[in-house]
């Protein structure tokens, strides 16, 4: 994309059009730029038509002003845009989140993305999972009564999962203790996503040696512990914000978008990424799989025991400079997080 060569004035013009359109959502006319560029509307029209030939601008109809094409946004993002400075106000709001130590890391990320969503009026998504390098540190079983127990698994990164354990028939507390001891002995150190296979292939064969009512106990534990780390956690903030943008003035379009936000598969799919170096990626319009009229900005994160993707979805006509700066700020802070 850097291979398109533009004159200084063309760059200036493209910049003005993109930024004006981002602000107003209306096609930009040649006349409106005369004063700023210090030349006549006819001259500007010639340049505009040049930029249109290069595929950077579009018209909504034959005699309309110009709007940026996808390629135009892309050029703007890649070559023209300057990251904006964070205002003290924005920074302050985010800082209070990152300072709260007793929040779990996942909550910190979710809250900070919610703030960004509120600041920008776009929709934020956080898609987190327990990182597979989480290793079990301890398995704890707390009895509630003769048949019901709470099983708790804690990992070295501080992740906690708990499940109900229900026995089909009563088992002596002694045996349960033995079972827990056995599990602890063999499972501590196992990555959390391998717990169930470890249960099945290493523990199941040997428990009969140690435990009398092995079948009941094994089944109960297996049921409880079998689905760890498979459930990605989706957090979505303010899908409605986007609908307020003037370009979404069509009922079916709105319905379509709201439906997409309701569909967890589609949202999860935003994650599935080809190149996952830790950088912030911008997918404009048809570059993303979510919706051709939208831009998706996303990046992966990995912080103590949690990993996932944070994303912001807005109209193609997005305040790219501001968003990039905000996301960068969050990313830096996530990396800093100790807990």
Residues that bind DNA (CB under 7 A): 26-27, 29-32, 39-43, 45-46, 48-49, 52, 59-66
Q: Which stretch binds its own copies (CB under 8 A): 82-90, 157-165, 203-211, 321-329?
A: 157-165
Q: Which of 32, 41, 137, 193 binds its own copies (CB under 8 A)?
A: 137
Closest CA to 261 of 128, 129, 124, 107: 124
Q: Which residues pair with 235 in a beta bridge?
A: 126
- Partner whose footprint covers residue 336, from its own copies, DNA, none (CB < 5 to 8 Å by kind): none
- Partner whose footprint covers residue 29, from its own copies, DNA, none (CB < 5 to 8 Å by kind): DNA
Binding status of residue 142 toward its own copies by CB under 8 A: yes
Residues in region 274-313 near its own copies by CB under 8 A? none
Q: Which stretch binds its own copies (CB under 8 A): 193-201, 242-250, 307-315, 317-325?
A: 242-250
Q: Which of 12, 156, 175, 293 binds its own copies (CB under 8 A)?
A: 156
Binding status of residue 163 toward its own copies by CB under 8 A: yes
Q: What is the dihedral of CA 70, 71, 75, 77, to 10 degrees?
A: 20
β-strand pairing of 281-284 with 136-143: unpaired
Binding status of residue 240 toward its own copies by CB under 8 A: yes
Binding status of residue 68 toward its own copies by CB under 8 A: no
C-beta of 26 vs 71, nearer to DNA: 26
Burial call 83-96: b when 16+ CB within 10 Å, e when fewer? eeeeeeebeeebee
Q: Other C-beta atoms within 10 Å of 318: how many? A: 24
DSSP string, 126-188: EEEEE-TT-BEEEEEEEESSSSEEEEEEEETTS-EEEEEEE-SS---HHHHHHHHHHHHHHHT
Q: Which of 23, 99, 138, 177 binds its own copies (CB under 8 A)?
A: 138
- Partner whose footprint covers residue 262, from DNA, its own copies, none (CB < 5 to 8 Å by kind): its own copies
- Partner whose footprint covers residue 172, from DNA, its own copies, none (CB < 5 to 8 Å by kind): none
Report CA-CA distances (Å) from 315 to 176, 257, 263.
56, 11, 19
From CA 136, how far away is CA 123, in angstroms rounded? Answer: 35
């Amino acid at each position: 994309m850097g291979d398109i060569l533009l004159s200084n004035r063309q760059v200036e013009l493209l910049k003005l059009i993109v930024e004006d359109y981002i602000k107003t959502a209306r096609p930009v006319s040649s006349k409106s730029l005369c004063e700023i560029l210090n030349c006549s509307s006819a001259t500007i029209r010639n340049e505009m038509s040049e930029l249109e030939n290069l595929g950077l601008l579009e018209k909504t109809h034959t005699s309309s002003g110009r709007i940026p094409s996808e390629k135009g946004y892309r050029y703007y993002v890649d070559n023209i845009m300057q990251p904006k400075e964070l205002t003290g106000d924005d920074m302050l709001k985010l800082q209070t989140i990152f300072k709260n130590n007793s929040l779990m890391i996942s909550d910190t990320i979710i809250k900070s993305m919610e703030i960004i969503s509120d600041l920008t009026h776009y929709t934020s998504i956080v898609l987190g999972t327990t990182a597979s390098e989480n290793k079990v540190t301890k398995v704890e079983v707390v009895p509630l009564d003769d048949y019901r127990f709470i099983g708790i698994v804690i990992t070295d990164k501080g992740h906690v999962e708990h499940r109900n354990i229900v026995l089909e028939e009563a088992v002596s507390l002694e045996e349960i203790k033995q079972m827990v001891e056995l599990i602890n002995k063999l499972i501590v150190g196992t990555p959390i996503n391998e717990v169930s296979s470890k249960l099945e292939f290493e523990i199941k064969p040997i428990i009969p040696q140690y435990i009398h009512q092995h079948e009941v106990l094994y089944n109960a534990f297996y049921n409880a512990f079998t689905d760890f780390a498979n459930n990605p956690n989706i957090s979505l903030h303010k899908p409605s914000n986007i609908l307020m943008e003037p370009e979404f003035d069509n009922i079916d379009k709105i319905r379509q978008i709201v439906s997409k936000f309701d569909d967890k598969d589609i949202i999860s799919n935003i994650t599935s990424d080809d190149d996952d170096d830790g950088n912030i990626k911008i997918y404009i319009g048809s570059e993303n799989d979510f919706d051709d009229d939208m831009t998706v900005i996303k990046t992966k994160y990995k912080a103590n025991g949690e990993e996932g993707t944070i994303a912001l979805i807005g109209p193609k006509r997005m305040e790219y400079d501001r968003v990039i700066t905000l996301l960068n700020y969050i990313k830096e802070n996530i990396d800093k997080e100790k807990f």
